[in-house]
Structure 1
Amino acid sequence: MKEAIKYLSKKDQTLLHILENFGNPVIQKREEGFASMCHIILEQQVSIASAQACYNKLQSYFIEINPINILNATDEELKKCGISRQKIIYLKDLAIKVITNEIDFASFSLKTETQIRAELIKIKGVGNWSIEVYLMFCLQSPDIIPLGDIAIKNTLKELYNCQTIEEMELLSNNWKPFRTFASYTIWHYYLKKRGKI
């Protein structure tokens, strides 16, 4: 973290201002594997609190969130955990792909980011945002910027007057090879400004 702070503070005055005035972001670390991918799917297009509530219900109901339990669960059981019909389809598709070894989370440490992306994109309902969050939170990839994230986009518009994804990509190139830490810093600012942390 120290190396990233030093590098980004020199490269970008706005990030330096955030770090000096709002403190360092908390770096999330989630376990690798099926359960974390389920959690990320639940986080799509809803608040963090709402997704966490669903995940907690799922964990309480099944004790262990694994592919067999999810695949064997009825839609009604999953709906009682607050999961939408669409996301039930996504979770079951993920479960099938893990059971049939189409996706092997245990092998990700031996694979390139490109190979991991190619596996995860096969899951129904999983796009770049979900993959990038998995890379950041679970695999601790150091150079990810999830430009599909609403908080990231809105903050880049606010602080840098970036209006297009192309402008945001160009800006984020200045933060290589520490775009993940820059992303955490931007999320930190977004949440602090809104009194959410």
Structure 2
Amino acid sequence: MRNFSSADFTALCDRLAEKDKDLHKVILQFGYPPLWGRSASFATLIHIILEQQVSLASAKAAFLKLEAFVGAITPENVLAMTDEQMKACYFSRQKMVYARHLAAAIMQGEFNLESLAELEDDDLRTTMKKLKGIGDWTTDVFMMMVLHRCDCFPTGDIALVKSTKEVKNLPADTGKAAILAIADDWRPYRTIAAFILWHAYIKKRNIIF
């Protein structure tokens, strides 16, 4: 288990850039990526669930709508919502189930957010994936954005995969196995590489979120 922070983030970007000329080109063109971070909270996990398989802008709109409706995004407040109220906050039927399952697991003491930071990567992944609606992508995003674990690379992330193909000048039909093989060269700092690749994707498309 290793984490990164503002104290070593830029140095780790430089270390990868020294090893990989394509990542170096991204930093030269667009600068260093932001050190994205989120709080280790129920609200953050709800936000990540909302981001599953939709654009960041759509997920943010849903999250802000929920926040405006309930005020504090807590397990108690989410469980008190009706289907109609959640639908008005842009929750799909499936994501209603996921949000309620997460809220109930926390309230019943079956899932402890505070303890996640103490777990090794594999144990953390196993613990999170026991929850309905939380798979590898959601777990990876939590590990990368919240806990700043160094070595995650979610091949289920469409933007990350597309950016890898662009930066590495790969054919459009390149499979995930080949992407992972390339990412192996970035161990044990694949998260840092992913931040650089996300940064390239966002900058090329002038995405604001």
TM-score for both structures, normalised by structure 2: 0.90
The CA deviation at 1:38 is 0.3
Further displaced range: 161-170 or 127-136? 161-170
For the aligned residue pairs, the C-alpha RMSD in angstroms reads: 1.2
Of 28, 41, 44, 2:52 maps to: 44
Matches of 1:104 and 1:8, distance apart in 2 = 34
The CA deviation at 1:78 is 0.9
User: Can you give the 5+ residue segments of structure 1 that lack an aligned partner in the other structure?
Assistant: none
Residue matched to 2:156? 148
Matches of 2:79 and 2:126, distance apart in 1 = 23
The CA deviation at 1:15 is 0.1
The CA deviation at 1:157 is 2.2
Residue matched to 1:77? 85
Residue matched to 1:26? 34
1:165 aligns with 2:176: yes
The CA deviation at 1:134 is 0.4
1:67-101, Cα deviation, whole Å (9 max, x unpaired): 11111211111111111111111100111111122
SS at structure 1 position matched to 2:73: coil
Matches of 2:167 and 2:202, distance apart in 1 = 14
TM-score for both structures, normalised by structure 1: 0.95
The CA deviation at 1:155 is 1.8
Q: Is the 8 A contact 1:15 1:182 kept in 2?
A: yes
Of 183, 189, 194, 1:183 maps to: 194
Matches of 2:14 and 2:80, distance apart in 1 = 49
Further displaced range: 156-165 or 118-127? 156-165
Residue matched to 2:76? 68
Q: Specify the code of the residue in structure 2 equivalent to 1:94.
A: L
Matches of 2:118 and 2:133, distance apart in 1 = 25
Matches of 2:115 and 2:13, distance apart in 1 = 31
The CA deviation at 1:22 is 1.0
